[in-house]
Amino acid sequence: MSPQTFTQQYINGTWKNGSSDKLVNNTNPYTDQTLARIPSANKEDLDEAYKAASLAQKQWSSLTPQEKTACFEKLVVKMEERKEELIDWLVKEAGSTLTKAELEYQTAMGIIKESASFPFRVKGEIMPSNISGKENRVYRNPKGVIGVIGPWNFPFHLSMRSIAPAVATGNTVVVKPASETPVTSGLFIAELFEQAGFPEGVVNVVVGRGAEIGDEFVTHPIPKLISFTGSTEVGSRIGELAGKHIKDTALELGGNNAMIVLEDADLEKAAEAAAFGNFFHQGQICMAVNRLIVHEKIHDEFVERFRQKAAGIKAGDPSEKETMIGPLINKEAIERIQRALQASIEEGAERVLGGDFDGNVMVPTLLTEVTSEMPIARNELFGPVASVIKVSSEQEAIDTANGSLYGLSGAIFSKNIHRAVELAKQVETGMIHVNDQTVNDEAHVAFGGEKASGLGRFGGDWALEKFTTVKWISVMNGYRDYPM
C-alpha cells in the first residue's frame, strides 16, 4: 500500500477495501480539497477485525517482555523516520498548524516510549492468608481485545494514547478512527505498527461511519473494554451501550475549563498563558481554556494585556510557520460557534476583539461582560473564543469554576503558590495547573476528568491498570480441615 493513499482498511495484517457501498470522504478543512474517498467498512469487516484481534491476542500476550519492548523500540524508529510525512498529514487532514503538529508528534512519542516500559511493569503480588498453609497470589493479565474510537482534534496522539498502552500490556486492538481524520487517527498508525514488525492482528483499523458500525463496535461480544475520546454526548451513548453489555470503558470526554486569575497574579504571564490555552489549535482541544475567571481588581488590566496578545496572533494557512490559528474542522463548527457568539452578545456580552471568519478560519475572539448562563460560557466551545467572567472574591471564583457540568482541566494564577494550591483542591476537576494554562498532557501522569468529562485515567501506572485485570489464585500447601 502506498503511504500517500490510505484508502483501505487494515485487518489481520492485510490492507483491503471496505465492504460497504458507502464512502468516507477525507477532506482538507483549510482548502476543502478531497484528500481521499475511502470505501467504508461494514459490520462484516468489523467482525473480521475483532476475530483477528482475538486470535492474535493469545500469541502476542505470550511473548516475553523483551520481545514486546523490542517491537516498541522499532516503532520509535519508524516514527522518527516518517515524522515529516506525519506532520504533513496532520496539517492537511486535521487543520493542525506546524507548531501544533510538532507538539502532537512529541507528545505521542512520549506515550510510545512510556508504553515501551509496560511489559516489564505488569506485575502481581503475593498476599498472606488467614487460613493456615495458604498463600494468595494476585496475577495481573491483559484484558484481551480493546476497542479504540479515535478523535479528530489531536487524532494521532489521542488514538495512540490508548493503542500503545493497550498493546504494551498484552492486549490487541481494533481501532475506529474519526471519519474527519481517518489517516492520522488510524490508518497511518496501522502502517507504523506494520512496519515496526508487530504480529498480524495486533492492530486493526476499520474506517466507517458511526451510523453503520458505531453501535456494533461497542456491543460486539469480543472487546472487553471500549476506549473513547470525544464529546460527552457520544461518550454517554457509548457508556450506556457498554454498561448494558457489561463492558469496561475508558472515556475522556468534553471540557469547559476555567482559568482563574487572582488579584495577585503576574498579569503578563497570565495573559500569555491564557492566549496559548485559548487559541492553540483553534481552541479545538478538550483541555482548552473556555472561561477566564478574573478578579475585578485586575480585570481591566488583564483584559487589555490579553487583547494585545490575541491581536498579534496570526490566523490562516496552517502550513505557514507563523500561523497559530488554522481552520476549524468544518463549516458546521464555524456556524455553531457563530450562533453561540451572537446569542451571547444579544444577552449582554461585549465583543472586544475578533468574531470574523473566512472559510473555516476564525480569528481570535475576546468577549467580556460574560455570565455563566451565556451559551459562550455554558457550553464546551471548541473554537478560538475567549470569554472573561468578572468575580469579586476567591469563593465566587471557585463557585463559578465549579458551576459547570464538566470537570476536565483547570488553571489558577497567583504569586502565592500555597494559596493557589489550596484553591485548586476545591475545583471539581481531574487536572488543574498552578501558574500554567489548562492544556497539559504528560505520558507518565494521570490524565482524565470528573463529572461529565469522563471516566477513568490515562497515563503511566493508571493506564497500565486500566488495560489489565487481576486474578486471585489461592494455593494451599497441604489440605484444609473443613468444619462439617
Q: What are the residue numbers of the active site?
A: 252
Q: What are phi and psi of 442, to 5 degrees?
A: -125, 135
Judged by DSSP in three states, 145 sits in: strand
Residue 217 Ramachandran class (φ > 0 left, ψ -120 to 50 alpha, else beta): alpha
Could you tell me the three cell numbers for 477?
Answer: 500447601
Contacts of 95 (CB under 8 A, 6+ apart): 28, 29, 30, 282, 318, 326, 327, 328, 329, 360
The answer to whether residues 397 and 299 touch, using CB atoms and an 8 Å cutoff, is no
Q: What are phi and psi of 168, to 5 degrees?
A: -65, -25
The answer to whether residues 467 and 482 touch, using CB atoms and an 8 Å cutoff, is no
What is the distance of C-alpha 81 from the center of its chain?
24
155-168 and 65-81 helices cross at what angle (nearest 10)? Answer: 160
Angle, vertex CA 452, rays to CA 235 and CA 257, nearest 5: 115
The answer to whether residues 179 and 214 touch, using CB atoms and an 8 Å cutoff, is no
- The rounded radius of gyration (Å) of the Cα atoms in the chain is 24
Q: How many residues does the chain have?
A: 484
For cell 473564543, the residue is 385
> What gap in Å lies between CA 151 and CA 256, rounded to an integer?
18
Instruction: Report in angstroms the alpha-carbon separations of 393 from 262, 271, 411, 435.
Output: 9, 20, 16, 18
Sheet strands side by side (includes 468-476): 125-127, 134-142, 468-476
Contacts of 28 (CB under 8 A, 6+ apart): 34, 35, 92, 93, 95
155-168 and 98-115 helices cross at what angle (nearest 10)? Answer: 0
The answer to whether residues 383 and 284 touch, using CB atoms and an 8 Å cutoff, is yes
> What gap in Å lies between CA 466 and CA 252, rounded to an integer?
13
Q: What are phi and psi of 19, to 5 degrees?
A: -90, -5
